[in-house]
Structure 1
């Protein structure tokens, strides 16, 4: 069968007309998608897969819990370092400086003050969920530094005790940085909230870079 063969067809006036396709339009060899009644399957519904546009509410509540626990813990740590709160024993700053000196850091007075303010400010922002990924990157950097300096002690003692709290802090901070603050937050529906993959990646790089800078520049 030649698809382009000129086929004479009697027209109303007896003249010859030519079809582009032999057997058109009802020849199913040429138009295999046509049914016997001339119906087309082009307009039939195409099976689709439903994709969730938002995360389940259980996930949002979990992100809220992780964020609040991280933020409040950092807030109390900063208040303890800077103002000896909430216990009021009078040795908050001195204890932090002695701890930093014991792990080989220099300029412990300035570093202690900087650590306290980072924990205080970033803790508030993370707890309320405002600029949470970037605030969380500051807490992630602090946790990474603490983890690095405590791992040798944990290795020498054969226990995870010295590195246990820094490890949990790293995990919580990484969740906030990478997954974002969730919909129950001050960041919800902000432009940077809708670009969480890029924001989380940048914030994680900032955290790692900051931790390396502190370890290489301020530690003996």
Structure 2
């Protein structure tokens, strides 16, 4: 399987986009960026990014420029064989519109950095994906059975997920004073795994409070974007 995937990526790197696939039906430009182009219109792609193609028409860019909120997400299972993911950007301007399409060879940090270069923009996460990530780490830290069968453990872990709905300047204090402080009250069988889970939460999420906090936000999830997949 890995060999087959590598073959597809090699094809992707060599694939030449003909003019027919760079224009919309009216003959206007649609291809915005191709890392394989001889003259790259803006920042060249680092080697870690590999092949990156960005499609967006002038009309879509106009909608993007007028959007007060944008959302972005990658689809992996629905991606073409020659790319790891199809990354899309959605703009909210009266309604939701898909404004950018990006077939990507890589899903590394540099790929997203190259696609999204928006100064003076505040990043806000999705409350659903935050809770999903926390729950995955509940499982990874051996707490799934306790989460399902022990009321106190379940309460503590749900309180951790609920921190996303608290004002950002209160999250850290509430976490230490109201959530973590309960760890010594659970059964000894669960304490080690719970401590390790808290270490993960502190080293990752407590460093990104402004990103996962959705307090006072009118849009707290990217369900509209997910519906396009």
TM-score by length of 2: 0.24
Question: TM-score, with normalisation over the residues of structure 1?
Answer: 0.25
Indicate the structure (1 or 2) with the bigger Cα radius of gyration.
1
Q: Which has the higher helix share?
A: 1
Larger strand proportion of the pair: 2
